């Protein structure tokens, strides 16, 4: 299943910084997030901002809220259309490249992967006014320091960037050939001397395809599918990276939405899986997301440090609020947070603390290994007087030792509750 369930996400853009994998995504609005109430049953795209998630184990993901939005571009005229982005790091700064459909491609800059991101130009980085094909930018910085940006639907374009990453070097090039079944969403990277251009291919449904070259300028030779098209999906979009000795492809599907309805709406969710390279650099095909095993957890989670409540492997039905300091909200009876691979150690935990704010209350039952697993503690979050007034609630814990999945199960929920962070002792 998709790696995020608290928001609808699409267009994954992974970025590895040290021990952490950051994942930037676009954001399909759920019905209550659509700004025009008259459009809340519509099937189209309603996309206003871009979200950030992070992981250190590929099993549990932490939400960081919206790091940028269309409103960060003062020159844009549309209030909808926050489509596929990519963020890259250079010289201690983070550059977020975003399509403003019909107005070219813009760039935002930040000193931190968490933002805030600001527009250094006040105008598009690239804008081919003769058409509306300036979408889905991907940027790669080669070993010699030269940066390249590819983009485009239905044609493929590329340009070199200057060292400042906010201006172009030379002219825009259009591939004078069409990559096999290319649609959009290119993803440019290099691995073991081979250059790769992955992309959304075929349509519709879309699959994940890729091409290879000996140069970032091409020529590109199509190599087939990473994931074949299937009627279980409609759209796809690749993001590929190496992390902690493993290779991953990220893409998108409608599998979280399908938990509620098979009536089509543009409410997508990001999934990921490991990929394997052959000796010649080609990529072995992988099956559809639902036909795969969950991602292998790379390291256990330490429960004796502060753990953000919005760190989870599963949290369907819950929601995330806030920017930067995000919290879990929309807590209802029967919902739960699953945290995979929690290492309580041989001695085990003695107590549990959760920081929360509430105009209401809820009971949090701590269980091991399943929603109905052994109870190791029960905590009650009580009224704090305001959803902005946080306090710590504690309970004793018994039987939490060794390596287990942890389930935070909610019951007797009422009012507005905000869960901030938790920790065992």
Q: Assess whether 284 and 341 both reside in one domain.
A: no
pLDDT value at 38 more than 90:
no
Contact 364, 339 (CB under 8 A): no
Q: Assess whether 237 and 337 both reside in one domain.
A: no
Residue where the block lists tokens 């200057």? 162
**Of 319, 320, 321, 349, nearest to 332 (Cα)?**
319
pLDDT of the residue at 361: 98
Residue-wise pLDDT for 155-177, tens only, equals 999 999 999 999 999 999 999 99
Q: Assess whether 282 and 246 both reside in one domain.
A: yes
Q: Assess whether 183 and 234 both reside in one domain.
A: yes
Q: Which of 240, 257, 291 is the last residue of a domain?
A: 291
What's the gap between Cα 224 and its chain centre? 25
In a domain, 2, yes or no: no
The CATH number assigned to the domain holding 398 equals: 2.60.120.260
Confidence of residue 323 (pLDDT cuts 50, 70, 90): confident
Q: Give the CA count within 13 Å in the CB-facing half-sphere of 409.
A: 18
The CATH number assigned to the domain holding 206 equals: 2.115.10.20
Residue-wise pLDDT for 130-154, tens only, equals 999 999 999 999 999 999 999 999 9
Q: How far is CA 151 from CA 84, 131, 369, in A?
A: 10, 13, 44
Q: Assess whether 248 and 166 both reside in one domain.
A: yes
Chain mean pLDDT for the chain: 97
Handedness of CA 204, 209, 215, 220 (dihedral sign): negative
Confidence of residue 124 (pLDDT cuts 50, 70, 90): very high
In a domain, 18, yes or no: yes
- In total, how many domains does the chain have? 2
Q: Assess whether 317 and 285 both reside in one domain.
A: no
- The residue range of the domain holding 385 is 307-424
Q: Assess whether 25 and 136 both reside in one domain.
A: yes
């Amino acid at each position: 299943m998709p790696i995020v369930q608290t928001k609808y996400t699409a267009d994954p853009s992974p970025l590895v910084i040290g021990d952490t994998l950051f994942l930037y995504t676009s954001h399909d609005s759920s019905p209550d997030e659509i700004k025009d109430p008259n459009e809340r049953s519509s099937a189209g795209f309603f996309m206003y901002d871009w979200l950030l998630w992070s992981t250190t184990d590929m099993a549990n993901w932490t939400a960081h809220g919206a790091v940028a939005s269309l409103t960060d571009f003062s020159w844009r005229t549309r209030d909808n259309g926050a489509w596929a982005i990519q963020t890259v790091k250079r010289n201690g700064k983070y550059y977020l490249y975003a399509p403003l459909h019909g107005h070219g491609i813009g760039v935002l800059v930040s000193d931190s992967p968490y933002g805030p991101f600001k527009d250094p130009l006040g105008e598009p980085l690239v804008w081919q006014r003769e058409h509306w094909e300036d979408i889905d930018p991907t940027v790669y910085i080669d070993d010699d320091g030269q940066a390249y940006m590819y983009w485009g639907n239905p044609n493929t374009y590329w340009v070199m960037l200057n060292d400042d990453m906010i201006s172009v070097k030379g002219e825009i090039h259009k591939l004078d050939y069409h990559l096999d079944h290319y649609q959009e969403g290119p993803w440019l990277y290099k691995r073991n001397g081979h250059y790769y251009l992955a992309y959304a291919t075929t349509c519709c449904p879309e699959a994940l395809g890729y091409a290879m070259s000996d140069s970032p300028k091409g020529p590109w030779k199509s190599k087939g599918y990473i994931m074949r098209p299937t009627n279980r999906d409609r759209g796809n979009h690749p993001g590929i990276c190496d992390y902690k000795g493993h290779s991953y492809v990220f893409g998108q599907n409608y599998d979280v939405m399908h938990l509620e309805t098979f009536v089509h709406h543009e409410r997508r969710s990001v999934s990921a899986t490991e990929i394997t390279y052959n000796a010649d650099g080609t990529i072995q095909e992988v099956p559809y997301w639902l036909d795969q095993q969950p991602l292998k957890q790379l390291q256990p989670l330490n429960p004796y440090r502060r753990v953000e409540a919005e760190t989870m492997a599963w949290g369907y039905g819950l929601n995330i609020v806030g920017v930067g300091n995000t919290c879990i909200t929309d807590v209802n009876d029967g919902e739960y947070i699953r945290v995979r691979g929690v290492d309580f150690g041989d001695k085990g935990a003695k107590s549990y603390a959760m920081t929360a704010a509430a105009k209401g209350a809820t009971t949090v039952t701590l269980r091991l290994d399943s929603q109905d697993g052994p109870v190791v503690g029960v905590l009650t979050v009580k009224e704090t007087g305001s959803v902005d007034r946080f306090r710590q609630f504690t309970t004793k814990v018994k039987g939490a030792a060794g390596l287990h999945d942890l389930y935070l199960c909610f019951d007797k929920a009422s009012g507005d509750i905000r869960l901030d962070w938790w920790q065992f002792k």
